[in-house]
Structure 1
């Protein structure tokens, strides 16, 4: 089978580069073939066709489930973390039905209930930090994001179970905090339980402890349902499919793990990058603060969500440093032509988010942080798609953007910060995503004037 623009580098070296330096690997390939190329990477089959041309991406994403189908089996890299019944693992009609059940808690009135919660969590996290002492912004945004997950998704505000889940999730994610340890997710042959002190053995025991806590929480909720609860777990426990069936305990467990894993570190990393860029480029921070101060009399979580420059800063952070390299894989279902290349059924495709976001024809000077791009032009969902797209787009993207904007606004409006390390931050593989290698070291240099009234909840239209 002939594949478009195969890379000439030996397969073994490609796989090694993909693990150690995925960004460098993709950028080097795109220099030769900027629109489409065939690579040999690990985790999704032997050969993958990478696509980064908006026209081709539109063709793929608008023909989801038809010419190009998402196959749950290709997401097996995430299975050890998420389980077999996560929406990411399901296919065809099962995926469509589950997605319909999961969507309502992430939109409209449900989102409004989380606004002040997010602001309060961010304020509390920063208030506990001493002035003048360096801290990891990425650690703090992880703390904020996990607290949002625990309270908005689980409805857990305090207690031993809450603290245990929080502790174990942090330990489990730290198990894959480098290119080397990430290999345990990528290579199935490394996934051997050789004892408590081995990396995979330790991970399995941590996962077992988390499962015990999650199933205990689910059992208690089933025994004592609360119709007034607005947390996502309570809402998911009440939904029924077309046949009137509720989600099983295992289905609930896998969806909760998906929300924690997919919605915790990803959002935290995006927030850390936004803090980095707004302080690496002081003029960006000053413009953002000017906008927040200009609307200080009418600021509430919903209005913050709508502020143009806050939105532009968050979008540019997600453009220049997308958390995911690519969309979930698609498989060609019937012979098709794509950018002048004929693809046979069975060909696996990645729509490359990173490479598309760094196309100079779409984003001039793509390595420069320029929020104004998003004020001057409206990009299509095939040119800017940090949360993926099509039938497999991220369910929680509205909540993620809501959280990102509120946390950034809360921190910058209340605190004066500076980068503790003047060296430019770099990307590093962490699990199946990318994160700042030095975790964005910052320091609090002071506090801004009190703005207690600016972040209070008031009656506003729905999102």
Structure 2
């Protein structure tokens, strides 16, 4: 079926191990031999799949004008053990489209200004606590601090939970669940179903199952209380989803609500925490970048004018370059060929699985000269198309939380730089490594409070 396309000739099992253990090395090595398109045998999809990183080919795949490609949710099943089957990531067709339209308003428009104050207050609270303990422990991991911030923000945006025992329990359990996939070794449980065995609470998969059950219990309790005490003035996503009705007038079931909430919680805080960690790393690794950024931030007359901060050009460039050089998501969601199609001179038959490779796209030298160097100015010098720069994916499965993630990233970074003095504990370069299905900084980025 794919014989016309360049194929990596390493045996399948070795490719699978390489993909889980060192995805960046795997992709870079393949792209040196086959720069634009190649066929791979990585795990998670059950078939040989085609990797694309040429912008026009990615555009053809994602715009889908002639229905050449579909985006079935079933191909995202690797996430099902955590997120369930009913969230927006797993849905297809009209159901997926309608769910996206239902969720999107919560992450756009006038809500952003309200989120600005929330992001500032949570960031300040987390870092004030770190500094209060500075005499006993002046060091911290940027990834942990950023996860604390992003999780509190998403709990408030999705659940409307600001405090209380249930909020604290959910926060603790979500942190524990996230920590189960911090390395390539622990992430391997997502990729190999054969080792997904519940051998008791002390086994890796058994631990996941029990933590997920505890999270489910808290979510279902919150849903039950909301159903019993309807408050039409609430504006959090859970309240909005509970008032939604389908064409027959039916509300979402408890299971559908659970899956959607867990999808938004897990995907919404993990990815943003990683992106913010990288932003802290680069601004402290390169003093000139930090100096330019501080100069721009101090030009804002009102430090609480969140939308003016959000629109700052150099801050935007720094965040974009962070997302370019270290995209959290390595790949687009998979597409499937519907009818025979030609792509970059190769013929793809129906049922072929195709992925856009965001990491390789962001490191193409003709698009980004000196691609391994952090240069925010490249985003001031030119405009990149949605198929040249796509940290949030593209097409019908583009990240629904993109606007909130960008806003949060900018306000958190601005708040930290303007109010706290930090430095990297180690000047050695930090490399990306697998964290679940994403890329995150190896070691969590060690920093020191000054």
**In which range does the TM-score fall when normalised by the shorter chain?**
over 0.9
Tell me by how many angstroms 1:105 deviates: 1.1
Q: Secondary structure at the match of 1:296?
A: coil
Tell me by how many angstroms 1:175 deviates: 1.1
Q: Tell me the alpha carbon deviations over residues 78-124 of structure 1, each in whole angstroms, 9 at most, x when there is no partner.
A: 00111010111111121112112111111112333211001100111
Map of 1:245 onto structure 2: 250
Q: Are the structure 2 counterparts of residues 112 and 64 from structure 1 closer, same or farther at C-alpha, using a change threshold of 3 Å? A: farther
1: CA distance, partners of 2:306 / 2:405 = 13
Aligned pairs (5 A) from 1:136-175: 136-175=141-180
2: CA distance, partners of 1:162 / 1:222 = 18
Q: Which moved more, 1:102-111 or 1:50-59?
A: 102-111
Map of 1:362 onto structure 2: 367
Q: Secondary structure at the match of 1:128?
A: helix
2: CA distance, partners of 1:303 / 1:239 = 34
The question of 1:259 aligning with 2:264 is answered yes
Q: Is the 8 A contact 1:71 1:330 kept in 2?
A: yes
Q: Is the 8 A contact 1:72 1:91 kept in 2?
A: yes
Map of 2:37 onto structure 1: 36
Q: Is the 8 A contact 1:175 1:181 kept in 2?
A: yes
Q: Which moved more, 1:423-432 or 1:130-139?
A: 130-139
Q: Secondary structure at the match of 1:148?
A: helix
Q: Is the 8 A contact 2:272 2:405 kept in 1?
A: yes
The question of 1:76 aligning with 2:81 is answered no
Aligned pairs (5 A) from 1:35-434: 35-63=36-64, 66-130=67-131, 131=134, 133-297=138-302, 299-434=304-439
Q: Are the structure 2 counterparts of residues 323 and 65 from structure 1 closer, same or farther at C-alpha, using a change threshold of 3 Å? A: farther
Q: Which moved more, 1:264-273 or 1:166-175?
A: 166-175
Q: Secondary structure at the match of 1:156?
A: coil
Tell me by how many angstroms 1:239 deviates: 2.2
2: CA distance, partners of 1:246 / 1:285 = 49
1: CA distance, partners of 2:46 / 2:293 = 44
TM-score by length of 1: 0.94
Q: Tell me the alpha carbon deviations over residues 188-240 of structure 1, each in whole angstroms, 9 at most, x when there is no partner.
A: 11111111111101110110010000000011111112222222211222222
Q: Which runs of 4+ in 1 moved over 3 A?
A: 296-299
Map of 2:12 onto structure 1: 11
1: CA distance, partners of 2:228 / 2:113 = 28
Q: Tell me the alpha carbon deviations over residues 50-88 of structure 1, each in whole angstroms, 9 at most, x when there is no partner.
A: 000000011011007921111111111000111010111
Q: Is the 8 A contact 1:172 1:207 kept in 2?
A: yes
Q: Are the structure 2 counterparts of residues 32 and 295 from structure 1 closer, same or farther at C-alpha, using a change threshold of 3 Å? A: same
Q: Tell me the alpha carbon deviations over residues 129-167 of structure 1, each in whole angstroms, 9 at most, x when there is no partner.
A: 134711101100000000001112111111111111111
2: CA distance, partners of 1:65 / 1:229 = 42
Q: Are the structure 2 counterparts of residues 126 and 46 from structure 1 closer, same or farther at C-alpha, using a change threshold of 3 Å? A: same
Q: Tell me the alpha carbon deviations over residues 280-321 of structure 1, each in whole angstroms, 9 at most, x when there is no partner.
A: 001000110000011233651111111111111110000000
TM-score by length of 2: 0.97
1: CA distance, partners of 2:408 / 2:219 = 24
Q: Is the 8 A contact 1:332 1:345 kept in 2?
A: yes
Q: Which moved more, 1:39-48 or 1:335-344?
A: 39-48
Q: Which moved more, 1:337-346 or 1:124-133?
A: 124-133
2: CA distance, partners of 1:435 / 1:239 = 35
Q: Secondary structure at the match of 2:162?
A: coil
Q: Are the structure 2 counterparts of residues 412 and 65 from structure 1 closer, same or farther at C-alpha, using a change threshold of 3 Å? A: farther
Q: Secondary structure at the match of 1:349?
A: strand
Q: Is the 8 A contact 1:427 1:435 kept in 2?
A: yes
Root mean square deviation of aligned Cα: 1.2
Q: Is the 8 A contact 1:64 1:390 kept in 2?
A: no
Tell me by how many angstroms 1:21 deviates: 0.2
Tell me by how many angstroms 1:354 deviates: 0.3
Q: Tell me the alpha carbon deviations over residues 320-359 of structure 1, each in whole angstroms, 9 at most, x when there is no partner.
A: 0000110000000000000000000011001000000000
Tell me by how many angstroms 1:16 deviates: 1.1
Q: Are the structure 2 counterparts of residues 247 and 36 from structure 1 closer, same or farther at C-alpha, using a change threshold of 3 Å? A: same
Q: Is the 8 A contact 1:64 1:391 kept in 2?
A: no
2: CA distance, partners of 1:134 / 1:202 = 29
Q: Is the 8 A contact 1:65 1:92 kept in 2?
A: no
1: CA distance, partners of 2:111 / 2:255 = 24
Residue of 436, 444, 447 corresponding to 1:439: 444
Q: Secondary structure at the match of 1:361?
A: coil
